[in-house]
Amino acid sequence: MKNILRVESLTKRFGGLVAVNDLSFEMEARSIHSLIGPNGSGKTTTINMINGTFPPTGGRIYFGETDITGMQTHKISTLGIARTFQNIKLFSTMTVEENLKVGGHSRLAPHGVVSYLLNPVEARKEENKLQVASEEIIAMLRLEDIAKSVVASLPYGKLKIVELARALMSRPQLLLLDEPAAGLNPSERAEFIDVLLKVFESGIDLFLIEHNMDVVMNISDKITVINFGSKIAEGDSASIQNDPEVIKAYLGEKYIMI
Amino acid sequence: MFSRKHTRKIYAVLIIAALAFPLISNNTYYITMLCLAFIYMIVAFGLNFITGMTGQVNLGTAGIFCIGAYTSALLTTKTFISPWLALLVVILFGFVIGIALGYPSLRLKGVYLSLTTIAFGEIVRQLVNNMTDFTGGAHGVRAIPPYCLFGFELNTKLRLYYFLLAVTIMFGLIAYRIIYSKWGRVFTAIRDNIDAVDTCGISSSKVKIIAFTLAAVFAAIAGGLYAHYSGYINPSTFTLNLSVSFVVMVMVGGSGTVLGSVLGAVLVSILPEMLRFLGNYYQIVFYILVFICTILIPNGIVNVFLERQKTKALPEKN
């Protein structure tokens, strides 16, 4: 089976604190892989290293065959890894459509400032490409009614979908989702799961961190569980639900059924 | 409320008014003031990219303006080359300074970046003031030759006026095209959320340097124009006060728009003159106006009238 993402003995220390400790896992191509663990177990730190927000202290990260360890975020993004954030990071003074166009900037509009100014025809073409691509994704995620709205005026649930839409503009192979369902109510969560599955079916592999078990257990092909920065279990949802180590980490020792 | 289509009409009206002004009024004083406003507009168009859109404070613009002015003045008075050739050197200098000033902005934020740019501006002014043999020190540079265009020396107020108007319209067009393009979007994106810019596959460092470079080239060219417009320059013009005025133009006029820079430059260069009847109080009245504008309309005057398509927030579910 081909791997899209391989992490080898990944370690991150912040001063004396070991946030991620010798973590290794492999994510298969065409799969939905979840990383779960209690608060402070190092999940977001792991995503931040994969996406290049900061370099790991030790270990290596491979995207397909490419070693992306310590690469800059924008380069990793152009290779085909997009992400969303736990606390939504959108361009709040801009409209939904403009946000999406920034998302497609590097893939669809690579011309520099000077060539942009000197060649209005090419500039027009680039803008049209961005327009078409953003309309496609807006239609796919059913955002038509808010496409021209300024992001700051939208409710939280919509912002989550807009951020996802922006990430899709770079047409990634792998999408990292940091707590995509956090803060959504059950009906919004169900809607969001549908959207995620649609994205997956369009050919994009998903790697997610999530706290809501209904989301994780329903859509994951494989789950990696970490606690205090180390891997404690890995497998499909059924085996994870019955794993004593996992129950201990989440609920406490006394809940283990023997 | 105005949409972008309306603003095009406003530009057309403004350009016609500017073209017609010397025909209606033969008050050379106002024509001189407007010439200066045109030069300031070019600086404001550039500064708008950094301070208005990307959100990086730059209080060193007078330093860049000064380098542009002195480069052109010294080259034309000492080596007697054409002001046009000097302009190429000015553009090159602007380019280099923009990159050099852009780099600190990658590491420094807020107050620290402001301090760095203030220091830069003052270093330039002190150097110019003290390198007496080379720059003439506090005496300045005299007898700077005017530009020549199609065999005409731009030595009368009227010729200068139309020349500067044409150049300003050209730079206004460039600025307009950048603002309403993918670059304008990315500049604003950096102000809104810089982390997200990198995850979109765009190097935020590179974009910041582009913004600084554009601003520096605009300011340096405006400096060159200033030297040949006034024929005499000295270091006392290029103070921190001037840098602050440039920021006032962009922010009070209306950040992120060409129209805002136009309005801001006109206000800053002409309003103090209009308020002169107040005698000793004119500066305080001017700065009280700035104070009030900043508090009540932080995005600037023009943005109060510009239509931003804003639909009401959707009702929350449940």
Q: What residues of B are in contact with residue A101 (Cβ under 8 Å)? A: 182, 185
Q: Which of A226, A244, A235, A216 is nearest to A37 (CA)?
A: A226
- Got the DSSP string for B211-244? HHHHHHHHHHHHHHHHHHHHS-B-GGGSSHHHHH
Chain A residues 102-161 within an 8 A CB cutoff of chain B: 102-103, 105-107, 109, 113, 116-117, 123, 126-127, 130, 146, 148-150, 153-155, 157-158
In a domain, B246, yes or no: no
Mean per-residue pLDDT of chain B: 88
pLDDT band at B312 (very low <50, low <70, confident <90, very high): very low
Residue A254 half-sphere exposure, CB side, CA atoms within 13 Å? 0
Q: Which of A5, A34, A28, A36 is nearest to A232 (CA)?
A: A36
Span A182-208, mean pLDDT?
91
pLDDT band at B309 (very low <50, low <70, confident <90, very high): very low
- For each of the domains in chain A, give its residue range(s) and CATH number, in order of start: 1-80+172-258 (3.40.50.300), 93-171 (no CATH)
Tens-place pLDDT, residues B40-56: 999 999 999 999 999 88
Mean per-residue pLDDT of chain A: 90
pLDDT band at A258 (very low <50, low <70, confident <90, very high): low
pLDDT at residue A1 in the model: 64
In a domain, B191, yes or no: yes
Instruction: Suggest the residue from A79, A107, A113 to mutate for an interface test with chain B (most B CBs closer than 10 A).
Output: A113
In a domain, B296, yes or no: no
Q: What residues of A are in contact with residue B318 (Cβ under 8 Å)? A: 185, 187
A77/B317 CB distance under 8 A: no
pLDDT at residue B120 in the model: 94
Q: What residues of B are in contact with residue A154 (Cβ under 8 Å)? A: 313-314
B193/A83 CB distance under 8 A: no
Asked if residue B318 has pLDDT above 60, the reply is no
Asked if residue B23 has pLDDT above 90, the reply is no
pLDDT at residue B97 in the model: 93
In a domain, B179, yes or no: yes
Backbone angles phi, psi at B42, to 5 degrees: -60, -40
Q: Could you tell me the two tokens for A24?
A: 């290794």
Tens-place pLDDT, residues B222-249: 999 999 999 999 999 999 999 999 999 9
pLDDT at residue A257 in the model: 58
pLDDT band at B275 (very low <50, low <70, confident <90, very high): confident
Spatial contact of A130 and B182, defined as CB atoms under 8 Å apart: yes
In a domain, B244, yes or no: no
In a domain, B201, yes or no: yes
Asked if residue B317 has pLDDT above 50, the reply is no
In a domain, B302, yes or no: no
Comparison of pLDDT for A196 and B311, the residue scoring more: A196
- Cα(A23)–Cα(A225) distance, rounded to whole angstroms? 11
Q: What residues of B are in contact with residue A109 (Cβ under 8 Å)? A: 182
Tens-place pLDDT, residues B115-169: 999 999 999 999 999 998 888 888 888 888 888 888 777 778 888 999 999 999 9
Amino acid at A234: E
CA B210 to chain centroid, in Å, comes to 16
Place of tokens 């002014």: B125
pLDDT at residue A114 in the model: 83
Q: Could you tell me the two tokens for A166?
A: 């922006």
A90/B196 CB distance under 8 A: yes
Q: Which of B64, B33, B34, B37 is nearest to B50 (CA)?
A: B64
pLDDT band at B179 (very low <50, low <70, confident <90, very high): very high
Cα dist. B70→B58, B119, B129, B189, B245 in Å? 21, 19, 11, 35, 20
Give the gap in angstroms from C-alpha B190 to the nearest C-alpha of chain A. 8
pLDDT at residue B101 in the model: 87
Q: What residues of A are in contact with residue B188 (Cβ under 8 Å)? A: 91, 93-94
What is the domain count for chain B? 1
> Quick one: what percent of chain B has pLDDT higher than 70?
95
For A171, name the nearest residue in chain B, comparing CA atoms only: B200
Asked if residue B314 has pLDDT above 60, the reply is no
Span A95-108, mean pLDDT?
92
Comparison of pLDDT for A238 and B41, the residue scoring more: B41
Provide the domain limits for residue B188. 27-239
